[in-house]
Amino acid sequence: MKILCLGFAMLLAIYAAAQTTSPQKIGHANWEYIFSRLPEYKQIEHELGAFEAQLQNQLKLKSQELGAKYKAYQAMSPDVPDAIRKDREAELAYLQDNIQKFQQEAQLSIQKKQADLINPVLAKVGKAIEAVAIENGFSYIINPQMVSGGDVLLFTDEQYNISNLVLKKLGVDVSKLPSSAAKPH
């Protein structure tokens, strides 16, 4: 009888443990899809387009100036003194370098402008994904559309983070780590 009661108690404990362990819910969110449907998207596209057009116009003016000065250089008569010819060549080289530097700086400016415009929206989307995940009991939200090295996991429930357990397994006493280092991200 004692064995029967003990066996029944063990079965009851196993059943209770199985009932309290809920399965992990995993969802996915497509950043590109979400972002492209936000009202801010068209505004960002418009601002970036206008900024790029402004830079393109500036580059066009610089290129036209270089083209005009090159034509003038080619039209110089053969009897122009070498000092003047070398001066014009130096001026052409300077303008060419200036255009190349401008192109590089313009590319960096476009990237910075894009980041300045997009990052606040991405942060807003990230907070919304986290809120939806928590409200709906998701353990993980993944990004199925990996674009330009983005995050695979958009949300994780920290109760499933095993980083400190792995450190313990490796012999690291996590209680002796600084508080910021002991908290896994």
pLDDT at 35 over 60: yes
Domain count, the chain: 1
43 or 135: which leads in pLDDT: 43
- Asked if residue 19 belongs to a domain, the reply is no
Give 144's contacts (C-beta < 8 A, 6+ positions apart).
Answer: 28, 30
Position 184: which residue type? P
- Asked if residue 119 belongs to a domain, the reply is yes
CA distances from 68 to 72, 78, 88 (A): 6, 19, 12
pLDDT of residue 93: 95
As a whole number, mean pLDDT of residues 19-26 equals: 66
- Which residue range forms the structural domain that includes residue 55? 25-156
As a whole number, mean pLDDT of residues 116-123 equals: 91
- Asked if residue 162 belongs to a domain, the reply is no
pLDDT at 18 over 70: no
As a whole number, mean pLDDT of residues 92-114 equals: 96
Report d(CA 147, CA 44) in Å as an integer: 19
pLDDT of residue 184: 46
- Asked if residue 132 belongs to a domain, the reply is yes
As a whole number, mean pLDDT of residues 37-58 equals: 93
pLDDT of residue 146: 56
Across all residues in the chain, what is the average pLDDT? Answer: 78
- Asked if residue 105 belongs to a domain, the reply is yes
Global pTM value: 0.63
